[in-house]
Amino acid sequence: MRVLRTDDLSFEEFPGLPDKDYAILSHVWGKHEISYQDVKVLTQANSPGVAGKYAARAKLTGCRAQARKDGLKYLWIDTCCIDKHSHSEFSEAINSMFHWYKSSKICYVYLTDVSAKDDLEKSKWFTRGWTLQELLAPTSVVFFNKRWDHLGDKIKLHQELSAITQIPPDFLLGRGLEDASIAQRMSWASNRTTSKEEDLAYCLLGIFDVHMPLLYGEQLTAAFRRLQIEILQMQDDTSIFAWQTPLQTDANLSGANTYGLLAPGPASFKQSTNVIRAALPVVSGYKQGIRTPILFNNKGLHLSLPVLQRSDRRLIAILGCTTEDQSSKWLAVWLQDISQNDGRYVRINNIQHVTDREVRSGAYFQDITTETRLFRTLSVIPRSRWHSSTSQN
């Protein structure tokens, strides 16, 4: 880990974490941030690499001054402590960042678009993907306005922060993130954005305690699919399938548009803020403590779930989760058989609740294979049958 010394702004590197406490900065990037290369020549007043970056220099100066005031020897800022010209260093930093924020003595949140505490909820900081882990990981998080005036800390502001972010207060006060279902954690990122679309997946690595290589250019859907696969290999939590899309309504039972079990992105979890884990129902074929492991291959995702048969080709798969307002029921998804008796299914509708009475009426465990790609078109309406009232330019 490379950090800045607060006494002279020189770099110091460690094979792991620094040997002394350090401060860490959380902020929204501006157009002209000071880079690793800039800091190396920062003492040169006329350096072309620093000229004109007045706002960025003020950010660095203010952060350094606050760290010195707090008696801290080291400081870490993402814009200048990572050499982004090195792909290996950048990838390692992204995969380590949650740990670095969690291990910091204090995290300074610098809000350049906030003057007073009343303006807190209007800040862009709450809309960015990367700042989610920067809020959750550190124990001590302190907020500052654009003049570096103190606004409050995460503990004192937890009610306001919860209202803004939809994160339950106990997770802001230190409760382990593993206590939240996968769907609920995904929902915290559902309204956030990143400059690069793939970063909407990469910024969640630490929140789910997984690691994976960065492949910029693969697009969000592919990056988010890889993220979900990594999560499923580490965590047995089927709430990851409790997502919804605006395109899915009761009309989708016609089967025209179908989906895999994996979500296309965090936005699909907007309605999952109250999804909690629940033990799967005990049904026919269930053996306590014995579950078919979730596997992946070129045919798709393989898992075992309790199901309710609804027709020759359709069934409802029951998930190990529910919602806080209907905790006596289970969430479930509709699946449709697309194979010739080899158990391959696609998703055809949104999640719904299933009652204990329905489960007892005939649920049983079944091995299922579902496609991991986002959707599958089963039929196409020829252009000659399009209606002008529904066509789009």
Q: Sorting pLDDT into bands at 50, 70 and 90, what band is 392?
A: very low
**Residues ≥6 apart with Cβ < 8 Å to 352:** 316, 331, 332, 333, 334
Q: What is the pLDDT of residues 28-37, one digit of tens each?
A: 999 889 999 9
Say which residue, 232 or 50, is predicted with more confidence: 232
Confidence at residue 193, expressed as pLDDT on a 0 to 100 scale:
98
Q: Sorting pLDDT into bands at 50, 70 and 90, what band is 177?
A: very high
Which secondary structure element, helix H or strand E, spans residue 356, and what is its range?
helix 356-360
In the chain, domain spans: 2-175, 238-377
Is the pLDDT confidence value at 379 over 60?
Answer: no
Q: Sorting pLDDT into bands at 50, 70 and 90, what band is 291?
A: low
Q: Sorting pLDDT into bands at 50, 70 and 90, what band is 52?
A: low
SS3 231: helix
Is the pLDDT confidence value at 146 over 80?
Answer: yes
Is the pLDDT confidence value at 290 over 50?
Answer: no
Q: What is the pLDDT of residues 253-269, one digit of tens each?
A: 444 578 889 999 999 99
Percentage above 90 pLDDT, the chain: 67
Residue 353's closest CA among 333, 320, 330? Answer: 330
Q: Sorting pLDDT into bands at 50, 70 and 90, what band is 246?
A: low
Confidence at residue 366, expressed as pLDDT on a 0 to 100 scale:
86
Q: What is the pLDDT of residues 63-94, one digit of tens each?
A: 999 999 999 999 999 999 999 999 999 999 99
DSSP conformation class of 324? G
Residue 318's closest CA among 361, 263, 259? Answer: 361
Q: Sorting pLDDT into bands at 50, 70 and 90, what band is 300?
A: confident
Confidence at residue 370, expressed as pLDDT on a 0 to 100 scale:
85
Percentage above 70 pLDDT, the chain: 85
Encode burial over 9-25: b for 16+ CB neighbours within 10 A, e otherwise.
beeeeeeebbeebbbbb
- pTM of the complete model beyond 0.85: yes
